[in-house]
Amino acid sequence: MIFIRAILPILMFIQLLPYTSHAQITISRSDFENLAAPDLQNYSYAVLSDSTLSVDIGGTGGSNVYDFSAWQFTAVDTAVTMPVGRVSQLESRYPAEAISMRSYEDVGGDHSRVETTVFQRSLSSGIFGTWENTTSGDDLLILSFFEDGTYLHAEYGENDPAEENGMEWGRFTLNESSGRVTFAQFFDNNAGSGLSDILASSPPFLYMHVSADDLKLRIDEDGNGSIDDSVQFNRLESSGIWGTWKNSTSANDLLLISFFADGTYLHAEVDSSDHNEISGMEWGLYTRNESDGLVTGVSQLFDNNGDTGLTGATGPGAPFLYINAAGDELSITSNEISYYYDVYLMQDDGLHIIGDASISPQSERHAKFSPAELYVPFPLNYGYSTSFSFTRTDSMHMDGMNMHITVDLINITKEADGWGTLILPGFGSFECLRWREVSEESEESKVFTYFTREGYFLQVITDFTEPNSGVISARSLFFSAPQLASRIEDRQAVTGEFTLMYNYPNPFNPTTTIAYHLPAFAYVELKIYDMLGKEINTLINEKQAAGNKSVRWDGKDNSGKTVSSGAYIYRLQIGDQVQTRKMMLLK
């Protein structure tokens, strides 16, 4: 199930109308030949958060108001994608022609399912930056110097039992003319191994010399002006995800993370105000998918900060974790959202549900129906009713265990009990039929589905205890649009390729949204042309980081003048690759 978070309170209104002419609506198979699984990250989110979603319906009496006001959205929901390779598991279990469609759901009003922490790249110039020593015999020995006058010393030596592993954080003072440096300790959990411990008495004296990408610590042990020992460090590469990143907006005194080219990372945290949180450092190995930033593995090498590091956010039962860098900003997103899909298959007698799947941080479950559930028969007319039975078999993989569960025979009766107009904000109004489950063995939910002859369908699921009329709290929503055909194997989340999506809505008036996916950092050019090839507007002309992107066009040209109704081409160019699609402006 997917937990959504709402930017605006959303109400879906259903008011019953006496228009008996609508009873002649017939929904045929041809209306759904282009049934789509839209890119919900950019599409259904826009529908849900865009004013009021309403249906005027007639044929059953009473009135319905579906209430979404308790749902809470955050913008990050539009950026979180299914981990690469996990959608492909659906593809391997169901026929290639099947269509996977994801639901939005809110259960219990849990509004903390997605959390993003943003870090800024630390300056890497002169003395500032992170320096690593690889010749001392220690497994890890680094120094970081920051613009605010603080430093971090982190050390781990597995082969030296006399040495205390851990970190030290404090303030440093550097004499620019002599190079002499002193340290004042704020936090220390590496006993006598830190820089301030070396200078606990006077002498020794410590001098620092920086030359390009080399830093030398020179030690005058007896204070006679002669250097007795020196330790050399090399500057940590600072590009892409590599480098040191600090967060200055949290309540922590110190929160930083460093990523190294050898596939290791360092997480350091100090929080003097939270006695329940253990301050310290974590060092380990990480594996990250470059296409979407998903952290697919973390192996801890050393830890003295409890569960506050990366390993506390990964592994069995933990959230999905994404780490992405764009310029001098790095974001770490912890995503506890679960994904729920119904899998549809069009056959001669109608649209069938052949199974469903849910993927969460804790488990993966794939169900097959035998025989397939007849979701809706075609042609569908008002007053049509049907009953059918099927057996559901679940295959579940949970925390390393595989289970197969066969559920007893399920009996369902459905009826086309209403007709009317489906009103989608920014999309238009469409004649529709309401298809409702009127009896079922499970007393857990009620399902109402609205079909249009244009191929749209909207499904709302409520708790079984909710009334059939009046104010109803909606629990789940499926939404499909015909112009966004996208079969399982074509989804950009699987391929990771440069993809230009269909605009939505289409036709549109006055604005539409164009979405696309970048697999890597690239220069992007997105332009609008008329059917004669004349350039109308340049929407994007800049470098962009990898990820899911979207931009709105308001139907105006480059001068700000509103263009006339008609067909237009939008063209996306990335390097030498070009994709185009057509859209329609109707006034």
On whether residue 506 sits in a domain, the answer given is: yes
On whether residue 40 sits in a domain, the answer given is: yes
Domain that holds residue 261: 114-335
The pLDDT of residue 112: 40
On whether residue 3 sits in a domain, the answer given is: no
The Cα–Cα gap between 21 and 419 comes to 9
Residues 164 and 215 both lie in one domain: yes
Residues 367 and 507 both lie in one domain: no
| DSSP run (H or E) holding 514 | strand 512-518
The pLDDT of residue 260: 93
Positions of the chain with pLDDT under 50 = 1-23, 36-54, 56, 58-63, 68-87, 106-112, 316-317, 399, 441, 483-496
The Cα–Cα gap between 156 and 142 comes to 9
Instruction: Answer with the one of 452, 484, 516 that is the final residue of a domain.
Output: 484
Could you report the per-residue pLDDT of 563-580, keeping only the tens digit for each?
988 888 898 888 778 888
Smallest Cα–Cα separation from 141: which of 234, 26, 21, 245?
234
The pLDDT of residue 556: 93
Residues 346 and 312 both lie in one domain: no
CB 216 within 8 A of CB 209: yes
The pLDDT of residue 507: 75
**CATH number, residue 542:** 2.60.40.4070
CB 281 within 8 A of CB 166: yes
The pLDDT of residue 172: 92
On whether residue 76 sits in a domain, the answer given is: yes
Could you report the per-residue pLDDT of 52-109, keeping only the tens digit for each?
344 545 444 444 555 544 444 333 333 334 444 444 555 566 666 666 666 655 444 4
CB 228 within 8 A of CB 245: no
Residues 353 and 299 both lie in one domain: no
Instruction: Answer with the one of 484, 509, 537 that is the final residue of a domain.
Output: 484
